Structure 1
Amino acid sequence: MQGPYLSEHGQYVSLHFGGSTTDGVHATMDRTAPFDLVFSYTQIMAGFARFTPLPRTIGMLGLGGGSLAKHCYRQFPNSRIVVAEISAAVIALRRHFLIPDDDDDRFSVLHMDGAALLSKNTNTFDVILVDAFNEAGHLPHFATRAFYRECYGALTTGGTLVLNFSGERWRSSFKRLHRTFRGHIVLYQCPDGDNVIVFATKGPLPQWLTGRVGSSAANPHR
């Protein structure tokens, strides 16, 4: 399979993985507004701020085109952001998407499997964002009970896990997530695609979600 590559169309630059989605596009940046979230699923994932408003530490599994990483970097200036990306080829493209070039105490991109990042950081992250795909699609080991336990253990008390699922995979994972996070789960179906975004909290869901718990499709931006 073809590895990651770029395409440019006017003001837009996109990241592709050959054959892994309908059109192979995994991220797009508008050069005139490089910090904007172009895809609706990333806008929904950014709704984690309704669950955890002032995260001190954000863990991200999957760098891609860096849309969420840049969003968090700008929106949460007091947060530490750690990104795990397993593909060196993806990391090598970071400059094309205006992702901060140099790692420092506030922002770092680690060449490693995201599951390994979680296992090394117990009770560390206030927010964990999982948006990890490769040429074959969604990474299957990121949909296991063991992985969800790692996520739960890596979150601080009251922390929020956000996962991007594409297609119907979330259905087979829901029971495992529900059991691990004790039912503190909200699902949101993207309006313009087959992505389902899952919010799971390590503790009770926030009060603004009263009456819309479990498998309800609550909009985190409302």
Structure 2
Amino acid sequence: MSGGHRVHLGFSGLQAEILPDGFSDRGFVLEIGGAEQSHVDLDHPESIFYEYLRRVGNVVDTIAAPGEAVSAAHLGAGGLTLPRYIQATRPGSRQVAVDIERELPSLVVDRLPLPEGTRLGLLIDDARDSLPHLASAAGLDDGEGFDLVVVDIFADRDSPEHLACREFYAECLELLSPRGALVVNVGDDVGLHFFARQAGFLADAASSDPRVGVASGAWTLADAGLIRRKGEGNLILAAGPGLVDRALGFERRWFDAGPHPAQVLDPLQTQEFVGELGT
């Protein structure tokens, strides 16, 4: 693919365009409304370019033994970078991706083909409305939970209220398997007040889940400078029954995996950080 390809998105009214990344012959960027949204390396789907998504990949790497297939739901499809990563590192994984923009997944799959063998269902729906349909779209058996649910749909304070709330997180947590994790990408402005609210909502939802409990809560993975400055950027929240056993050493494993400078806050440290930020 030598040039850009674009579509008009019916829900947002924005233009989505796939362009060469300028670094490699098979690297591409998905832009929406002129802003970079996703990066895809067709030759190396196991490589993740954006630092915040690399931190999500670190969580993926710890929810099961290396190479073991998992089940994953992606709320927010984008360039399908993470489904590509999971297929490359955990072949045979059962996945589903949801996007409210009907035209976007077709553009991405047509112009940036998925790795061979990818088992990915695609749903065009509101993220919350899609929750009852995710398991069947991913090919899960009745009663089988997801090992991973990724929420990548927030854009600071403009995010829809029915998604940026405790009840949505509680419904997502209910979808998880015993080893499962809910991972939320939160993009925010200086001061991180939207992040603080989301961290509180997720911790509250997790503490009400009997498989997670009060002793756990929400982990935070982010650039250390962003945490220190409380500046604009992306922070990753993670919670779920698969993250309760501290003996598994998540904090050290996620920190060592980078990108650096990295900081990993355990649930108590996240709570203290949220207290510093206020709402």
Q: TM-score, normalised by structure 2?
A: 0.65
Instruction: State the identity as a percent.
Output: 21
For 1:1-222, list aligned pairs within 5 A.
1-10=13-22, 11=24, 12-18=27-33, 24-53=35-64, 54=68, 56-94=70-108, 95-99=110-114, 106-120=119-133, 121=135, 124-132=145-153, 138-167=159-188, 168=192, 169-182=194-207, 183-190=216-223, 194-202=233-241, 204-207=244-247, 208-209=249-250, 213-216=266-269
Larger Rg: 2
Residues 205 and 216 of structure 1: is their aligned pair in 2 closer, same or farther, counting only changes over 3 Å? farther
DSSP-derived class of the 1:68 partner: helix
Q: Partners in 2 of 1:13 and 1:56 — Cα distance?
A: 26
Residues 156 and 111 of structure 1: is their aligned pair in 2 closer, same or farther, counting only changes over 3 Å? same
Q: Partners in 2 of 1:81 and 1:70 — Cα distance?
A: 10
1:37-88 C-alpha deviation (Å, 9 max, x unpaired) = 1111111101123541146311111110111010011111132111112211
AA aligned opposite 2:57: A
Give the root-mean-square deviation of aligned CA atoms. 2.9
Count of residue correspondences: 210
Q: Partners in 2 of 1:115 and 1:124 — Cα distance?
A: 17
Return the offset for 1:109. Answer: 1.6
Q: Partners in 2 of 1:210 and 1:190 — Cα distance?
A: 14
Residues 196 and 64 of structure 1: is their aligned pair in 2 closer, same or farther, counting only changes over 3 Å? same
Return the offset for 1:113. Answer: 2.2
Which of the pair is proportionally richer in helix?
2
Structure 2 gap ranges (5+) = 1-12, 136-142, 208-215, 227-231, 253-264, 271-279
Q: Does the 8 Å CA contact 2:202/2:217 hold for their aligned counterparts?
A: no
Return the offset for 1:181. Answer: 0.7
Residues 174 and 34 of structure 1: is their aligned pair in 2 closer, same or farther, counting only changes over 3 Å? closer
Runs (4+) of structure 1 exceeding 6 A deviation are none
Q: Does the 8 Å CA contact 2:96/2:120 hold for their aligned counterparts?
A: yes
Q: Partners in 2 of 1:76 and 1:116 — Cα distance?
A: 28
Worse-matched range after superposition: 33-42 or 4-13: 4-13
1:128-170 C-alpha deviation (Å, 9 max, x unpaired) = 0111258x96444321111011111111223100110001222
Q: Does the 8 Å CA contact 1:164/1:197 hold for their aligned counterparts?
A: yes
